[in-house]
Amino acid sequence: MRATYFLRQEYDNYIKNLDPDEMKTTSDEDNNEYDISLIVINTLSKSLNDDGHGALLRHEFAYVLGQLRDERAISTLQHTLLNINDDTMVRHECAEALGAIGSSQSIPTLQQIANNDTSIEVGQTCQLALDYIQWKLNQKGEEEEDKDAPVPICACMLSPYSSVDPAPPHPKHEALSSIQIGTILRNENEPLFERFRAMFSLRNRGGSDCVNELGTALITDTSSALLRHEVAYVLGQLQHPDGVEYLEKSLKRCDEHRMVRHESAEALGAIEERWGECEVILGQFINDHDDVVRESCVVALDAADYWGYNTTTTDTDNDGKKRGEVNDITNEKEVGQRTNFSLHKAESNGKASLQQQRVLHNHFNIAL
Protein backbone atom coordinates (compact mmCIF):
# COMPACT_ATOMS: atom_id res chain seq x y z
CA MET A 1 0.00 0.00 0.00
CA ARG A 2 2.83 2.39 0.84
CA ALA A 3 4.59 1.53 -2.43
CA THR A 4 1.37 2.30 -4.30
CA TYR A 5 1.27 5.84 -2.96
CA PHE A 6 4.99 6.36 -3.44
CA LEU A 7 4.33 5.55 -7.11
CA ARG A 8 1.59 8.15 -7.21
CA GLN A 9 3.95 10.69 -5.69
CA GLU A 10 6.64 9.82 -8.25
CA TYR A 11 4.09 10.28 -11.05
CA ASP A 12 3.04 13.68 -9.70
CA ASN A 13 6.64 14.82 -9.27
CA TYR A 14 7.48 13.79 -12.83
CA ILE A 15 4.43 15.44 -14.39
CA LYS A 16 5.00 18.71 -12.52
CA ASN A 17 8.43 19.05 -14.11
CA LEU A 18 7.33 18.01 -17.58
CA ASP A 19 6.49 20.32 -20.43
CA PRO A 20 2.90 19.50 -21.51
CA ASP A 21 4.07 19.36 -25.12
CA GLU A 22 6.47 16.58 -24.19
CA MET A 23 3.80 14.24 -22.83
CA LYS A 24 4.03 10.96 -24.69
CA THR A 25 0.95 9.00 -25.63
CA THR A 26 2.59 5.94 -27.15
CA SER A 27 3.21 2.78 -25.12
CA ASP A 28 6.31 1.80 -27.12
CA GLU A 29 8.81 0.73 -24.47
CA ASP A 30 11.87 1.74 -26.50
CA ASN A 31 10.62 5.30 -26.88
CA ASN A 32 9.42 5.60 -23.29
CA GLU A 33 12.29 4.07 -21.36
CA TYR A 34 12.64 7.15 -19.17
CA ASP A 35 8.98 8.18 -19.01
CA ILE A 36 8.36 7.82 -15.27
CA SER A 37 4.64 8.46 -15.71
CA LEU A 38 4.29 5.52 -18.09
CA ILE A 39 6.38 3.28 -15.82
CA VAL A 40 4.01 4.08 -12.96
CA ILE A 41 0.91 3.42 -15.08
CA ASN A 42 2.30 0.16 -16.42
CA THR A 43 3.32 -1.00 -12.94
CA LEU A 44 -0.09 -0.26 -11.44
CA SER A 45 -1.88 -1.75 -14.45
CA LYS A 46 0.13 -4.97 -14.28
CA SER A 47 -0.61 -5.21 -10.56
CA LEU A 48 -4.31 -4.60 -11.13
CA ASN A 49 -4.38 -7.46 -13.62
CA ASP A 50 -2.83 -9.85 -11.07
CA ASP A 51 -5.64 -11.14 -8.86
CA GLY A 52 -3.07 -12.67 -6.52
CA HIS A 53 -2.72 -9.27 -4.86
CA GLY A 54 -6.20 -9.53 -3.36
CA ALA A 55 -9.23 -7.24 -3.60
CA LEU A 56 -8.08 -4.51 -1.21
CA LEU A 57 -4.79 -3.79 -2.96
CA ARG A 58 -6.21 -4.23 -6.47
CA HIS A 59 -9.01 -1.78 -5.79
CA GLU A 60 -6.37 0.64 -4.48
CA PHE A 61 -4.34 0.23 -7.68
CA ALA A 62 -7.48 1.12 -9.67
CA TYR A 63 -8.18 4.10 -7.42
CA VAL A 64 -4.70 5.54 -7.93
CA LEU A 65 -4.90 5.02 -11.70
CA GLY A 66 -8.08 7.09 -11.67
CA GLN A 67 -6.53 9.81 -9.52
CA LEU A 68 -3.70 10.18 -12.05
CA ARG A 69 -6.31 11.15 -14.68
CA ASP A 70 -4.12 9.73 -17.41
CA GLU A 71 -5.97 8.30 -20.41
CA ARG A 72 -3.25 5.68 -20.89
CA ALA A 73 -4.81 3.79 -17.97
CA ILE A 74 -8.25 3.50 -19.58
CA SER A 75 -7.77 0.21 -21.43
CA THR A 76 -6.67 -1.66 -18.29
CA LEU A 77 -9.49 -0.20 -16.20
CA GLN A 78 -12.08 -1.07 -18.84
CA HIS A 79 -10.73 -4.61 -19.20
CA THR A 80 -11.15 -5.25 -15.46
CA LEU A 81 -14.54 -3.56 -15.30
CA LEU A 82 -15.86 -5.75 -18.13
CA ASN A 83 -14.84 -8.95 -16.33
CA ILE A 84 -18.08 -9.86 -14.55
CA ASN A 85 -16.30 -12.64 -12.65
CA ASP A 86 -13.90 -10.23 -10.96
CA ASP A 87 -14.39 -8.86 -7.44
CA THR A 88 -17.23 -6.33 -7.09
CA MET A 89 -15.15 -3.86 -5.10
CA VAL A 90 -12.35 -3.92 -7.68
CA ARG A 91 -14.75 -3.47 -10.59
CA HIS A 92 -16.51 -0.62 -8.78
CA GLU A 93 -13.20 1.16 -8.30
CA CYS A 94 -12.33 0.72 -11.98
CA ALA A 95 -15.62 2.35 -12.95
CA GLU A 96 -15.03 5.21 -10.51
CA ALA A 97 -11.49 5.61 -11.89
CA LEU A 98 -12.85 5.90 -15.43
CA GLY A 99 -15.17 8.63 -14.18
CA ALA A 100 -12.25 10.43 -12.54
CA ILE A 101 -10.28 10.34 -15.79
CA GLY A 102 -13.39 11.74 -17.44
CA SER A 103 -12.77 10.73 -21.05
CA SER A 104 -15.68 10.41 -23.44
CA GLN A 105 -14.09 7.24 -24.85
CA SER A 106 -15.17 5.45 -21.66
CA ILE A 107 -18.86 6.25 -22.15
CA PRO A 108 -19.80 3.12 -24.22
CA THR A 109 -18.23 0.75 -21.68
CA LEU A 110 -19.79 2.54 -18.72
CA GLN A 111 -23.20 2.54 -20.41
CA GLN A 112 -22.92 -1.17 -21.16
CA ILE A 113 -22.23 -2.04 -17.52
CA ALA A 114 -24.64 0.51 -16.03
CA ASN A 115 -27.53 -0.99 -17.96
CA ASN A 116 -26.77 -4.69 -17.61
CA ASP A 117 -24.57 -5.53 -14.62
CA THR A 118 -25.84 -7.86 -11.93
CA SER A 119 -23.98 -5.95 -9.20
CA ILE A 120 -25.99 -3.01 -7.88
CA GLU A 121 -22.83 -1.26 -6.63
CA VAL A 122 -20.99 -1.61 -9.95
CA GLY A 123 -24.03 -0.47 -11.93
CA GLN A 124 -24.53 2.56 -9.68
CA THR A 125 -20.85 3.48 -9.95
CA CYS A 126 -21.00 3.34 -13.75
CA GLN A 127 -24.07 5.58 -13.80
CA LEU A 128 -22.39 7.99 -11.39
CA ALA A 129 -19.30 8.07 -13.63
CA LEU A 130 -21.47 8.73 -16.67
CA ASP A 131 -23.25 11.59 -14.88
CA TYR A 132 -19.89 13.08 -13.88
CA ILE A 133 -18.43 12.83 -17.37
CA GLN A 134 -21.57 14.41 -18.81
CA TRP A 135 -21.35 17.21 -16.24
CA LYS A 136 -17.74 17.82 -17.23
CA LEU A 137 -18.62 17.88 -20.92
CA ASN A 138 -21.43 20.35 -20.24
CA GLN A 139 -19.08 22.58 -18.25
CA LYS A 140 -16.55 22.52 -21.06
CA GLY A 141 -19.24 23.36 -23.59
CA GLU A 142 -20.40 26.35 -21.57
CA GLU A 143 -16.82 27.63 -21.28
CA GLU A 144 -16.24 27.38 -25.02
CA GLU A 145 -19.56 29.08 -25.69
CA ASP A 146 -18.72 32.14 -23.60
CA LYS A 147 -15.00 32.34 -22.86
CA ASP A 148 -15.34 35.83 -21.38
CA ALA A 149 -18.00 34.87 -18.86
CA PRO A 150 -16.89 35.05 -15.19
CA VAL A 151 -16.28 31.68 -13.57
CA PRO A 152 -18.87 31.05 -10.81
CA ILE A 153 -17.05 30.42 -7.54
CA CYS A 154 -18.52 29.59 -4.16
CA ALA A 155 -16.94 28.24 -1.01
CA CYS A 156 -18.44 24.77 -1.45
CA MET A 157 -16.75 24.40 -4.85
CA LEU A 158 -13.29 25.13 -3.44
CA SER A 159 -12.02 21.82 -2.11
CA PRO A 160 -9.05 21.73 0.28
CA TYR A 161 -8.53 18.08 -0.65
CA SER A 162 -6.39 16.61 -3.40
CA SER A 163 -8.82 13.89 -4.45
CA VAL A 164 -10.58 13.76 -7.81
CA ASP A 165 -14.13 13.25 -6.56
CA PRO A 166 -16.89 11.30 -8.32
CA ALA A 167 -19.25 14.29 -8.18
CA PRO A 168 -18.82 18.06 -7.81
CA PRO A 169 -20.45 20.11 -5.04
CA HIS A 170 -23.40 22.20 -6.20
CA PRO A 171 -23.03 26.03 -6.12
CA LYS A 172 -26.65 26.30 -4.93
CA HIS A 173 -25.67 24.55 -1.71
CA GLU A 174 -23.81 27.67 -0.62
CA ALA A 175 -27.13 29.30 0.31
CA LEU A 176 -28.38 26.25 2.24
CA SER A 177 -27.81 25.27 5.85
CA SER A 178 -25.86 22.14 6.68
CA ILE A 179 -29.11 20.50 7.78
CA GLN A 180 -30.72 21.28 4.42
CA ILE A 181 -27.77 19.85 2.53
CA GLY A 182 -27.86 16.80 4.78
CA THR A 183 -31.52 16.34 3.93
CA ILE A 184 -30.60 16.17 0.24
CA LEU A 185 -27.87 13.64 1.02
CA ARG A 186 -30.27 11.38 2.93
CA ASN A 187 -33.20 11.71 0.51
CA GLU A 188 -33.36 8.28 -1.11
CA ASN A 189 -35.65 9.63 -3.83
CA GLU A 190 -32.99 12.05 -5.07
CA PRO A 191 -30.74 10.94 -7.96
CA LEU A 192 -27.53 9.43 -6.62
CA PHE A 193 -25.44 12.05 -8.42
CA GLU A 194 -27.23 14.86 -6.57
CA ARG A 195 -26.81 13.10 -3.24
CA PHE A 196 -23.08 12.76 -3.91
CA ARG A 197 -22.92 16.47 -4.71
CA ALA A 198 -24.51 17.21 -1.35
CA MET A 199 -21.97 14.94 0.34
CA PHE A 200 -19.01 16.83 -1.08
CA SER A 201 -20.59 20.18 -0.29
CA LEU A 202 -20.78 19.09 3.35
CA ARG A 203 -17.20 17.85 3.28
CA ASN A 204 -15.88 21.09 1.83
CA ARG A 205 -17.82 23.16 4.36
CA GLY A 206 -16.50 21.03 7.22
CA GLY A 207 -17.15 21.39 10.94
CA SER A 208 -19.08 19.42 13.52
CA ASP A 209 -22.53 20.09 12.01
CA CYS A 210 -21.48 18.72 8.64
CA VAL A 211 -19.80 15.69 10.21
CA ASN A 212 -23.03 14.88 12.05
CA GLU A 213 -25.04 15.15 8.82
CA LEU A 214 -22.60 12.86 7.06
CA GLY A 215 -22.43 10.43 9.97
CA THR A 216 -26.20 10.21 10.18
CA ALA A 217 -26.31 9.29 6.49
CA LEU A 218 -23.67 6.60 7.02
CA ILE A 219 -25.74 4.98 9.79
CA THR A 220 -29.32 5.49 8.57
CA ASP A 221 -29.11 5.04 4.79
CA THR A 222 -30.54 1.79 3.45
CA SER A 223 -30.54 2.58 -0.26
CA SER A 224 -26.92 2.41 -1.42
CA ALA A 225 -23.76 0.77 -0.13
CA LEU A 226 -21.95 2.87 -2.73
CA LEU A 227 -23.15 6.07 -1.07
CA ARG A 228 -22.35 4.83 2.43
CA HIS A 229 -18.83 3.79 1.50
CA GLU A 230 -18.16 7.25 0.05
CA VAL A 231 -19.53 8.91 3.18
CA ALA A 232 -17.09 6.86 5.27
CA TYR A 233 -14.24 7.89 2.96
CA VAL A 234 -15.21 11.55 3.30
CA LEU A 235 -15.30 11.29 7.10
CA GLY A 236 -11.73 10.02 6.90
CA GLN A 237 -10.75 13.02 4.82
CA LEU A 238 -12.29 15.38 7.36
CA GLN A 239 -10.41 13.73 10.25
CA HIS A 240 -12.94 15.25 12.63
CA PRO A 241 -13.15 13.60 16.07
CA ASP A 242 -16.97 13.65 15.97
CA GLY A 243 -16.84 11.12 13.14
CA VAL A 244 -15.48 8.32 15.34
CA GLU A 245 -18.82 7.10 16.75
CA TYR A 246 -20.40 6.86 13.30
CA LEU A 247 -17.43 5.06 11.79
CA GLU A 248 -17.29 2.66 14.74
CA LYS A 249 -20.96 1.75 14.32
CA SER A 250 -20.42 1.20 10.61
CA LEU A 251 -17.35 -1.01 11.11
CA LYS A 252 -19.13 -3.08 13.78
CA ARG A 253 -22.01 -3.94 11.45
CA CYS A 254 -20.94 -7.39 10.31
CA ASP A 255 -23.84 -7.57 7.86
CA GLU A 256 -22.81 -4.27 6.20
CA HIS A 257 -21.25 -4.39 2.72
CA ARG A 258 -17.52 -4.92 3.06
CA MET A 259 -16.70 -1.91 0.91
CA VAL A 260 -18.44 0.26 3.54
CA ARG A 261 -16.74 -1.43 6.48
CA HIS A 262 -13.38 -1.21 4.69
CA GLU A 263 -13.71 2.56 4.21
CA SER A 264 -14.87 2.98 7.80
CA ALA A 265 -11.77 1.16 9.07
CA GLU A 266 -9.35 3.22 6.99
CA ALA A 267 -11.16 6.43 7.93
CA LEU A 268 -10.65 5.63 11.62
CA GLY A 269 -6.94 5.39 10.87
CA ALA A 270 -6.95 9.02 9.75
CA ILE A 271 -8.40 10.55 12.92
CA GLU A 272 -5.44 11.50 15.08
CA GLU A 273 -7.23 13.54 17.73
CA ARG A 274 -8.92 10.44 19.18
CA TRP A 275 -6.39 7.92 18.01
CA GLY A 276 -6.29 6.01 21.31
CA GLU A 277 -9.95 5.07 20.89
CA CYS A 278 -9.58 4.40 17.17
CA GLU A 279 -6.66 2.05 17.79
CA VAL A 280 -8.75 0.02 20.23
CA ILE A 281 -11.64 -0.18 17.74
CA LEU A 282 -9.40 -1.26 14.87
CA GLY A 283 -7.66 -3.82 17.07
CA GLN A 284 -11.00 -5.56 17.62
CA PHE A 285 -11.32 -6.26 13.88
CA ILE A 286 -7.77 -7.14 12.94
CA ASN A 287 -8.92 -10.78 12.75
CA ASP A 288 -12.26 -10.07 11.06
CA HIS A 289 -13.87 -12.83 8.99
CA ASP A 290 -13.65 -10.63 5.88
CA ASP A 291 -10.18 -10.33 4.39
CA VAL A 292 -10.78 -6.82 3.01
CA VAL A 293 -11.92 -5.50 6.40
CA ARG A 294 -9.10 -7.31 8.18
CA GLU A 295 -6.45 -5.91 5.84
CA SER A 296 -7.99 -2.42 6.04
CA CYS A 297 -7.51 -2.46 9.80
CA VAL A 298 -3.87 -3.43 9.30
CA VAL A 299 -3.42 -0.56 6.84
CA ALA A 300 -5.12 1.91 9.19
CA LEU A 301 -2.99 0.88 12.16
CA ASP A 302 0.17 1.04 10.08
CA ALA A 303 -0.75 4.44 8.65
CA ALA A 304 -1.20 5.83 12.15
CA ASP A 305 2.23 4.58 13.18
CA TYR A 306 3.62 6.01 9.96
CA TRP A 307 2.32 9.41 11.07
CA GLY A 308 3.64 8.87 14.58
CA TYR A 309 0.32 9.31 16.38
CA ASN A 310 0.62 9.69 20.13
CA THR A 311 -1.66 7.23 21.94
CA THR A 312 -1.00 8.60 25.43
CA THR A 313 -4.14 10.08 26.97
CA THR A 314 -5.64 10.62 30.39
CA ASP A 315 -9.24 10.48 29.23
CA THR A 316 -11.35 7.64 30.57
CA ASP A 317 -14.50 5.98 29.33
CA ASN A 318 -17.61 5.09 31.34
CA ASP A 319 -15.91 2.03 32.81
CA GLY A 320 -12.96 4.02 34.08
CA LYS A 321 -10.61 2.43 31.54
CA LYS A 322 -8.14 4.76 29.93
CA ARG A 323 -8.93 5.64 26.36
CA GLY A 324 -6.10 4.53 24.21
CA GLU A 325 -5.37 1.46 26.32
CA VAL A 326 -5.17 -1.36 23.79
CA ASN A 327 -6.90 -4.66 24.52
CA ASP A 328 -4.66 -7.60 25.43
CA ILE A 329 -3.32 -9.22 22.28
CA THR A 330 -3.32 -13.00 22.40
CA ASN A 331 -3.23 -13.88 18.72
CA GLU A 332 0.34 -14.69 17.66
CA LYS A 333 -0.11 -13.24 14.17
CA GLU A 334 -1.46 -10.01 15.64
CA VAL A 335 1.51 -9.73 17.98
CA GLY A 336 3.85 -9.89 15.00
CA GLN A 337 1.88 -7.24 13.12
CA ARG A 338 1.79 -4.86 16.06
CA THR A 339 5.52 -5.39 16.63
CA ASN A 340 6.14 -4.35 13.04
CA PHE A 341 4.05 -1.20 13.59
CA SER A 342 6.21 -0.32 16.60
CA LEU A 343 9.39 -0.83 14.60
CA HIS A 344 8.13 1.43 11.82
CA LYS A 345 7.35 4.12 14.37
CA ALA A 346 10.78 3.77 15.98
CA GLU A 347 12.50 4.01 12.60
CA SER A 348 10.71 7.29 11.89
CA ASN A 349 11.63 8.66 15.35
CA GLY A 350 7.99 8.87 16.32
CA LYS A 351 6.99 11.36 13.64
CA ALA A 352 6.56 11.09 9.89
CA SER A 353 9.03 12.85 7.62
CA LEU A 354 7.77 15.35 5.05
CA GLN A 355 8.05 12.72 2.31
CA GLN A 356 6.11 10.24 4.46
CA GLN A 357 3.49 12.89 5.15
CA ARG A 358 3.05 13.46 1.44
CA VAL A 359 2.49 9.76 0.85
CA LEU A 360 -0.11 9.55 3.62
CA HIS A 361 -1.60 12.81 2.37
CA ASN A 362 -2.13 11.06 -0.96
CA HIS A 363 -3.53 7.99 0.75
CA PHE A 364 -6.22 9.81 2.69
CA ASN A 365 -6.36 12.76 0.28
CA ILE A 366 -6.19 15.21 3.14
CA ALA A 367 -4.76 18.70 3.19
CA LEU A 368 -1.23 19.04 4.60
Q: Could you tell me which of 238, 235, 270 has the C-alpha nearest to residue 250?
A: 235
**pLDDT beyond 60 at 285:** yes
Q: What is the pLDDT confidence band of residue 342, given thresholds at 50, 70 and 90? A: very low
Nearest residue to 290 (alpha-carbon basis) of 316, 320, 251, 328: 251
Q: Is the pLDDT of residue 59 over 60?
A: yes
Residue-range domain boundaries for the chain: 2-21+32-143, 155-364
CATH of 2-21+32-143 given 1.10.3720.10, 1.10.540.10, 3.40.50.970, 1.25.10.10: 1.25.10.10
3 state SS for 245-276: HHHHHHHHCCCCCHHHHHHHHHHHCCCCCCHH
Same topology for domains 2-21+32-143 and 155-364, yes or no?
A: yes
Taking 60 as the threshold, does the pLDDT of residue 200 lie above it?
Answer: yes
Quote the pTM value. 0.82
Helix ranges (H only) for 166-224 are 178-186, 192-205, 208-220
Mean pLDDT of 341-361: 48
pLDDT of residue 123: 98
d(CA 349, CA 363): 21
Question: According to the model, what pLDDT value does residue 33 have?
Answer: 66
Please, are residues 296 and 262 in contact by the beta-carbon 8 Å criterion?
yes
Contact 307, 360 (CB under 8 A): yes
Residue 151's pLDDT is 43
> What pLDDT does residue 18 have?
78
Give CATH for domain 155-364: 1.25.10
Average pLDDT over residues 100-123: 96
The residues near 249 (Cβ < 8 Å, ≥ 6 apart) are 218, 219
Express each pLDDT in 141-195 by its tens digit: 655 555 554 444 455 556 788 899 999 999 999 999 999 999 999 999 999 999 9
Q: Shortest CA distance to 226 belongs to which of 191, 269, 174, 178?
A: 191
SS3 content of the chain, % helix, strand, coil (to 5): 65, 0, 35
73/318 Cα distance (integer angstroms): 51
Q: What is the 3-state secondary structure (H, E, C) of 210-245?
A: HHHHHHHHHHHCCCCHHHHHHHHHHHHHHCCHHHHH
**3-state DSSP assignment of residue 366:** coil
Give the three-class secondary structure for 316: strand
